[in-house]
Every structure is written in structure tokens, then in C-alpha cells.
Structure 1
Amino acid sequence: MKSFKADYVFPVYADPIKNGIVTVDDSGKIIAVAATPHPDHVNFPTETLSGIIAPGFINTHCHTELSHLKDKVKPGGGLISFIQDIQTFRNIDKAEMLDAAQRADQQMYDNGIVAVADTANSNLTVAMKEKSKLYYHTFVEIFGFLPDRADELFEKAGLLADEFRPQSVSVTAHAPYSVSKELFKLIKHFSDGGNKNLLSIHNQECEDENKFYRYKLGGFIDMYRHFGINIDYFRPQARNSLQSVIPLLSNRQKILMVHNTCTNLKDIYFIKRFDRKINWCFCPNANVYIEKRLPKVELFVNQGLNITLGTDSLASNNGLSILSEMQTIQQKFSSISLQTLLEWGTKNGAEFLDIADTKGTIEVDKSPGLNLITGLDDLKLTPESKVRKLI
């Protein structure tokens, strides 16, 4: 048994505890959380720390198999240029790709992340995830904008998902601009059929995505021409991409909309009219890296929405740190409290991934991991804030 005492303990599910004490057993399971030591625990060794103690972070959007692309893609070129660069540099020696993925896994562990929702397009990371200290849910992602290939692509994705089992895995669509209506319908049918199939979809990362769906104009026309794909069949929908695909999504599964860089208030209100289990993931550092802009985060606050945080990949980020994502949000949106940011980076992600029985909050009998966060100013994150993994 061991106790940790800090300036504050943030259990996240409840108010912060000033001069709080967290006691854990040798396996990392929480034995007690309180402002004063339990009489039975007074003789346990206690480490007194300066800073706050928070649960381990949950990263709800990553691409570990793209880790070898760190510093390969020039920042600030926009999403369409980024996609083209990814396809150019994506495939190299498998051993090099796996080594980079393993280093990314270790980096997340060192940065206090305990669980990851990771997107995969191949079986590269199967063995890595089996051995990892982190919990992984893998989203096998389908691309396919040509209707006549829908059945083939869905079957292929199902076979890839089988390679990850018995790990937690599901089949999902990449994005509105890269998945045909027919393929969306196959995923919906599968998700509606009693299969547990969490969904994670890249959403409105750039203005061109909405322009493409509204008017069939913008950079995606050039992108498909660049890849030699004929999209003459596609008809503009006269509404934003998010509003166009919502009816094609299951109402029986939880859905994570990722990035939301160009999502507006009308989109949010539109979503609320539908019976869909929508969650929202922000990856601010990747948005700045790719598009040089942030989502309108303030529009989502106080809407009763389940918001989570992700890092995206090392192709679009300088590191894999949920604390860094929170710092970027805090710097731009100073009114958002540390308690709220921690909810986004811990509890909400655990709830989305259905692992809240063990992770996401500091509660007795859970094993959420413990992080020490330092370098705060009046319980606000600063550029000097750092995270140290305690357990």
C-alpha cells in the first residue's frame, strides 16, 4: 500500500479535494480518496507532492500506424494537401513503421495516457497492442467513395477487424467525403444488428468538406481528380457534410465525431434533433498543424455534450500528449476550467469507450492510473505545465 498527497486531488466525478490523499495497493487499485488519511492507512508510506493529482488520460483519437510520418508532412498546408502527402509517404519498410508505432505507444504511456482509441487501416499494430501497457480500442477504418465497391470494402474491413480480436475493435467510416452512401448504409446495417460497434468519424476538418457537400465545389474535386477517381455520380446535398450523413448513422451505437474544426452552431442544433448517440472529440494540436485553426470550442461548452480529447497522429502533431491538447485549449479559451478539461481528457473518454468501470475517475476499487500535473497558475494550465505518471 502507498499514499500520494498533493495540493489538490481531482477525482473528476466530484469536486477537487484540497490537500487530498489517494491510497493505492500494489496493483494500482484505489483503496481510499480523502482529505485526511484513513485511520487504518496512517502507517502506509506517503509521498507528498506539489501540484494536482488526476486520473490517467484517455486518448480517444490516434493513428499509431502513421507514427513513422513524424516531421514528414509540412505543417499548415491544409487538409487536402495533408491527405495527398500521407498517401505519398505512407508505405515504407514495415519494420520501421512498427518501430515508430512502438515508440509512440511508449510515449503515450510516459505522458500519462492509459487508454487509446486508435484508428487502423492495416494489421501492423495487432501484436504491439497485445503487449502494450495501454488499453486499446481499434477502429478499423473504411475508405471508399465509389458505390460499386461498397460490399467489397466492407467485407475486407470485417476480415481485418477479425485479426485484432479478441482485442476491442469495431468497423467504422473514415469521413463523409471518403465514404459512399452505400458504404455508410452497410456500416449502419451491421451496427443496427446487435453487434457492439463503436463508431468514430473524421468530421468537418476543413471548409472544403462543407463546400463539397453543399455545392460539389472546392478542393476535394481536385483531390479525387489527383487520385484518378471519377465522382460524376455524386450530387451536392445543399447542406453541410455532418447534416448530410447523420441520417445514415446508427442510433444504436455510440458515435465519435472527430476534429469538428468547421462545425457550427446550426450543425450542433441539427444533431440534437436526431436520436443519435453523438460524442465530440477535439484534437486541437492537429487542427493547428494541418489547418492553422482551432474548432469553435466555446460553441460546444454548456450544451450538455459528451466531449473527449485526442492527439491524432505524429504525422499531424509534434507529440502524443493529452495534457498538451488541454494546454492548447486553455491558452485560446481561458474561461474553460481545469475541472472541465480534465473531464474531457479522462472521464468522458472512458465513458465513450465503455471502460468507466475501471478508468476515467479516481474512485475506490478503480485502477485509473494517477498523474501529477505541475506548473499551474491558480488552477489554470500554463505553457509550463507538465505531467508525471505516478502509477
Structure 2
Amino acid sequence: MNYRKFTADHLFTGSEWLSNDSVLITGTEGEIIDIVPASAAGEGVTSFTGILSPGFVNCHCHLELSHMKGIIPEKTGMVDFLVRVIQQRGFDGEIIQKAIEEAENSMLQNGIVAVGDICNTANTVEQKKKGRLLYHNFIETMGFIEQTAGQRFDASRAVYEQFARLYRNPAESNSIVPHAPYSVSPALFQLITHFPGNHLLTIHSQESGAEREFIEKGTGDLHRLYQALNIDISFYKPRSTGSLPAYLSHFLPTQSVILVHNTNTNKDDLEYVASGQLPIANLFFCVCPNANDYIGNPLPNIDLLRQYKAAIVIGTDSLASNHQLSVLAELQTLQRHFPNLEKKELLQWATLNGAKALEINDVVGSFEPGKKPGVLIIDEQFSMVERLI
């Protein structure tokens, strides 16, 4: 077998630093063979300046919205952003496909090897057939009116079936998921969570103060969204519990859930998670700081999440709400706003934690024999990334 051998100033395995005389050995196709001391590596070692790291995992993306780059103004706030997204979906198919391809190219160039991708349509199927990135396709459904739950779910299931044809075991790489707690009725939640094989789910969670106010009090700015959509929600009754317990109660003990955004997650929410009352198997907190800033929401309270030992992962959201699809750019923003964060912690969120969240840590996320996690070189200031494999 032919080997490739890499060393750098620092080697990050996905969970720990190794000494700078360590050499990473891979097969020519990128399979990890071993990590050995330089004295045992033999000839042909390529040396780099910076950090050797596994490839990045982007746990939250909307690849199908890539044609909307630069269309929605920044700082509009959550409600106006959502209304504009709905209004801007009707683009020419060729434009949409070209934007999807270019966006995927950018993710590859930015060191991303796997993506948790939100899909409301089958627009990304053709690009994903090429097999350039690992995807878990989260087929998103929404419908706040109980009577339409079956119709809404059937439409999402039809999209699911188009993605399912890409995989030998569809349930490993595809799920039907709820959009957000303010856009999914209890009846629709039931159909989603009991869909066969639906073991991994995600939901936009506590993305704004307006969401919490609506769930807990039934008031606030979200009413403008329903008015814009011409939806009568006079039937809605606020939940007596906090917002997080209100919708986590819909999930099942066998399911893992990725909560996305978490800009309004507070101590009471995390106390509830820490109490052991959760009805689900695993819970991950995905942060997308650049999208939060673009829309005009606050950044999540990272220090509070860390205090409660939350399992944090990284997402980019979409080009409708971000200037780029770059996990490294998200780490840069977190580092700037939370300078106490260590590089090891940030890199683990972007690699092994993300792989665990998407349930693909047997393939990517860390330098372990048999895996194909990709190999990146990152400069020590987190200002540049280059994909080696």
C-alpha cells in the first residue's frame, strides 16, 4: 500500500493535542492508518506550519437556499427574515442548481467533509448524487393547523422518498424533522416522531426572544408572521411549562435531537436538561453565530452552555443568512466574542462533536485507524484552512 505522511506544529486528533513530533499516516484514499512518532515514520513525511485537524462537520445548513445569497438585507429581525425567505423561493431552476453546486464547492474548499442539511424540497438531490460530501438530509416539515397535519406530512414524505433513493439504508442518512416549535402542530409532531426509522432529528430552537414569548405567553412579534401567511391562530393556548420542555416532550426516548441556534436558551432551560427529565436519548446544541448576527439575533450564551456541559456543535445556516458556508468562519466569530475559548474546545465542536451529532463518528470526526475524516491544515490564528485530503 502507498502511504501519505503528514506532520505539523500541532496535531489535533478530534479530541486532544498530540506532541509536535507526531506523524499522521494515511492511505492514498484518505483512510487513517496510524499516528506514530517521527522516529518511526520513515521517509516521505510532508511537514506543515499550523494545525493538522480532521475535516469539519457542518451540523446545520440549508443548501437549497444558496441562490438567495445577498438577497435578504442584514439585521431585519427574525419575522421579517422568515417572510422574505418564503417570498424568495420561486427562482429559475437552473439558477438554483448552479448556486447549489457553487455552495457545495465552497464547503469543500473550506474543509467541510459532512453536512446536516435541511431540505424543504428535492432541489439538492442531483448535486448529492455526486457523493462529494457526506450528508444527513433533514426533510423539514411545518404546519401549525392540526387539521392539515396529514397533508403536510405526506408532502414531506414525498420529498423524503426522493432522497431515500440515494442510499442503501435510507434511515441512516435521512429524517423527517419539525421546522420549529412555533410552526408544527402537536398532531404533526406525532407523525414526525413516530415515522419509522426517525432516530435522528433536528429543530430550530429558541432562535429569538419572540419565539419564547409566543410559546410561553402566546404574544409577541411572531403574530406578524402568521398574519403574513394568512393563518388564523386564535386557537393557540400558551404552554404552562417553559418553552424548551414544551416541545422536547414530543420526542421519543430512542431519538437524538440537534437543537439549532439556541440564542435565547437560558439557565432554566439548561437546568431542565441537566435534571435528567429529558424524554430523548441524546441532545446537541448547534450554534450558528454568523447567521445569528446576519439576521439580527443575539449570539448564544456560550459560557452558560459550557457551564452546563452542553454538547456543542457548529452550523453555518444558509447563504440567505450568511456570507459564506465556512465552519472556520464560525469558529473565528466565537473566538472573537468569547476569547476565553481554547482552540482545542472549538476544534472538537467542529469535528468529533459534530460527527457524533450526525451519528457518523465511525467514519469522520477524528484521526482513528479505519476512518476517512479528511485532513486539514489550519493556521494557528484560525484565519486560513487548506484541505490536504
TM bucket, shorter chain: over 0.9
Residue 362 (structure 2) pairs with residue 389 (structure 1): no
Structure 2 residue 319 is matched with structure 1 residue 317: no
**Residue equivalent to 2:77:** 78
> Could you say which residue in structure 2 is the equivalent of 1:274?
278
Give the Å deviation of 1:189: 2.3
2: CA distance between counterparts of 1:12 and 1:95?
38
Secondary structure of the residue aligned to 2:245 is helix
- Residues in 2 aligned to 1:163 and 1:83: alpha-carbon distance in whole angstroms: 26
Report the 3-state secondary structure (helix = DSSP H, G, I; strand = E; otherwise coil) of the residue aligned with 1:164.
Answer: helix
Output the CA distance in 1 between the equivalents of 2:131 and 2:100: 11
Given that 1:213 and 1:239 are in contact with CA atoms closer than 8 Å, whether structure 2 keeps it comes out as no
- Asked whether the 8 Å contact 2:15–2:344 carries over to 1, the reply is no
- In the aligned structure 1, how far is the partner of 2:38 from the partner of 2:45? 12
Pairwise mapping of residues 25-174 of structure 1 onto structure 2 (< 5 A)?
Answer: 25-38=27-40, 41-43=41-43, 45-165=44-164, 166-167=166-167, 168-174=173-179
- Residues 21 and 37 of structure 1 are in contact (CA less than 8 Å); yes or no, is this contact kept in structure 2? no
Aligned match of 1:12: 14
Separation in structure 2 between the aligned mates of residue 387 and residue 110 of structure 1, nearest angstrom: 8
Residue 302 of structure 1 and its aligned partner are, at CA, apart by 4.1
Is the aligned partner of 1:286 residue 2:295?
no
Are 2:376 and 1:371 equivalent residues in the alignment?
yes
- The TM-score normalised by the length of structure 1 is 0.94
Secondary structure of 2:300's counterpart equals coil
1:177 is aligned to 2:179: no
| CA-CA distance at 1:306 after TM superposition | 1.8
Deviation larger for 265-274 or 15-24: 15-24
The aligned counterpart of 1:344 is 349
Structure 2 counterpart SS, 1:248: coil
Q: Say if 1:351 and 1:386 are closer, same or farther in 2 by CA, change over 3 A.
A: same
Q: CA deviation at 1:47?
A: 1.5
Query: 1:245 deviation in Å?
Result: 0.7
Q: Distance in 1 between matches of 2:283 and 2:296?
A: 24
SS in 1 for 2:244: helix
In 1, the alpha carbon distance for the partners of 2:192 and 2:39 equals 51
How many pairs does the alignment contain? 378
AA aligned to 1:42 is G
Show structure 1 runs of 5+ residues with no match.
none
Amino acid of the structure 1 residue aligned with 2:342: S
**Alignment partners' CA distance in 2, 1:342 and 1:254:** 22
Residue identity in the other structure for 2:375: L
Give 2:261's match in structure 1, choosing from 223, 246, 259.
259
Matched, 1:250 2:255: no
Give the CA deviation at 1:352. 1.6
Which residue number in structure 1 is paired with residue 336 of structure 2? 331
Structure 2: gaps spanning 5 or more residues: 168-172
After the TM superposition, which of the residue ranges 164-173 and 73-82 deviates more from structure 2? 164-173
CA RMSD, aligned part only? 1.4
CA displacement, residues 133-171 of structure 1 (integer Å, 9 cap, x when unaligned): 110110000010111000111122112111101432110
Contact 2:141–2:177 (Cα < 8 Å) also in 1: yes
* Partner Cα separation in structure 2 for residue 240 and residue 104 of structure 1: 37
Contact kept, 8 Å, 1:105 with 1:132, in 2: the verdict is: no
Task: Please give the TM-score of this superposition, normalised by the length of structure 2.
Answer: 0.94
**Structure 2 match to 1:296:** 301
CA distance in 2, matches of 1:100, 1:236: 40
